[in-house]
Amino acid sequence: MPGPNANEELIEALILAEPGDTVTIAAGRYDLVDGLSLDVDEVTVRGEGADRTVLSFKGQAGAGEGLLVTSDRVVLEDFAVEDTKGDGVKSKGSDQITFRNLRVEWTGGPKPENGAYGVYPVSSSNVLIEGVTVRGASDAGIYVGQSEDIIVRNSVAEYNVAGIEIENSYRADVYANTARHNTGGILIFDLPNLPVQGGHDIRVFDNDVMDNDTPNFAPEGNIVGIVPKGMGVMVMANRNVHVFGNRFDRNGTTHVLIAAYPNDYEDDAYMFVPRGVYVHGNTYGEGGGEPDGEVGKIISDVSGTPVPDIVWDGVTRIPEYFSWVSAADRIYIDEADDTTFANLKMISQMLLPWGWWPDKDIAGYKGSLPEPEPVTLPQDKGV
């Protein structure tokens, strides 16, 4: 129960939990000064609702997470975490981790001093995130990194820098979510110099991505600092990414951007260009009328304003142009006739003359790519 000893009691309950236990957190507001951690397999941590059981870390002494899980087959559900100094709820190295009906929020609104990530599984597998709401993260509200077999569904991300981000991960389904009033709605990234690379097989579908109009408030140096206000979906340096059946509206820079990693790097294993991206069957409302920041200026200088619904920067590796690009690595666009598209022709970071281009269709290939298999998780099957 809430009270002067609540922090110590919660810490003790999580330490003493045994496999198969449910740790129930009663309704109320808990003012905590120390982060919580769980390292016991097969435990459920359950509150009495995300608006009734509230863990407030406004007085947190350290800069760590609100709750860190490092064990397997864990369910976290029906509580809120507010105002952590670091990340909200994190798992590391967990298998079969479920985040359900949680709320993670920085109640002072978007600020660079807020924690980086709201719901944050990393180096984890069989990840299920559903019914989650995150507000105010200074990097990504819902972030899944260096993980595999992931479902993010029926969740709301708003007033974050990135609403939902899948980074350096394998096999993810992101669907039936709402990403609104972020800087960027949904990001599918692959970055260099990380233990897990070559992100692939991502499906982003049946999401509402709209009104992403919050100025970028990421601390200086963060890669998401490049994301312009008004980004819908951004695919960067990932492979076999399918974006379909989504509803885009009122994203001021562009609804969909397909781009190479823009910075210098030293990592021989890294591939900086997106490959095998298929955008189809989406609906597009207003957008592109207020391109923002350096990225928005680069795009609009070439495409004009309003920026088209879908933009590809056109960056690829020079050798590919002399054998052209394999079918599996091409960018495919198959949308309604009134959908607008721009290829910025930024070939190999402008090492070739601006006007040079092979005699190929540069408006995005018509056709399709084989869709990744739907993600299935053990916890979805009651295992």
- Per residue in 152-170, pLDDT (tens digit) is 999 999 999 999 999 999 9
Instruction: Judge whether 290 lies within some domain.
Output: yes
Instruction: Judge whether 51 lies within some domain.
Output: no
Instruction: Judge whether 287 lies within some domain.
Output: yes
What's the pLDDT band for 365 if we cut at 50, 70, 90? Answer: low
pLDDT score of 31: 94
Instruction: Give the number of domains in the chain.
Output: 1
Instruction: Judge whether 183 lies within some domain.
Output: yes
Instruction: Judge whether 234 lies within some domain.
Output: yes
Burial class of residue 48 (count of CB atoms within 10 Å of its CB; 0-12, 13-18, 19+): middle
Query: pLDDT digits over 100-137, tens only?
Result: 999 999 999 999 999 999 999 999 999 999 999 999 99
Q: How many CB atoms lie within 10 A of CB 6?
A: 18
pLDDT score of 350: 42
Instruction: Judge whether 13 lies within some domain.
Output: no
Instruction: Judge whether 204 lies within some domain.
Output: yes
**Stretch 204-221: mean pLDDT:** 97
- Mean pLDDT across the chain: 91
Residue 15: pLDDT above 90? yes
Structure tokens at 17: 């939990």
Q: Rounded CA gap, 99 and 90, in Å?
A: 10
DSSP string, 235-254: EES-EEEEEES-EEE-BSSE
Q: Is the pTM of this model over 0.85?
A: yes
pLDDT score of 361: 38
Instruction: Judge whether 32 lies within some domain.
Output: no
Residue 354: pLDDT above 90? no
Q: What residues make up the domain containing 286? A: 87-381
Q: Rounded CA gap, 161 and 181, in Å?
A: 9
Say if residues 307 and 342 touch (Cβ distance below 8 Å).
Answer: yes
pLDDT score of 317: 66
Name which residue leads in pLDDT, 383 or 113. Answer: 113
Beta strands 310-312 and 341-343: pairing type? Answer: parallel
Name which residue leads in pLDDT, 102 or 320. Answer: 102
Q: How far is CA 40 from CA 15, 50, 161, in A?
A: 8, 23, 33
Residue 375: pLDDT above 60? yes
**Stretch 213-239: mean pLDDT:** 96
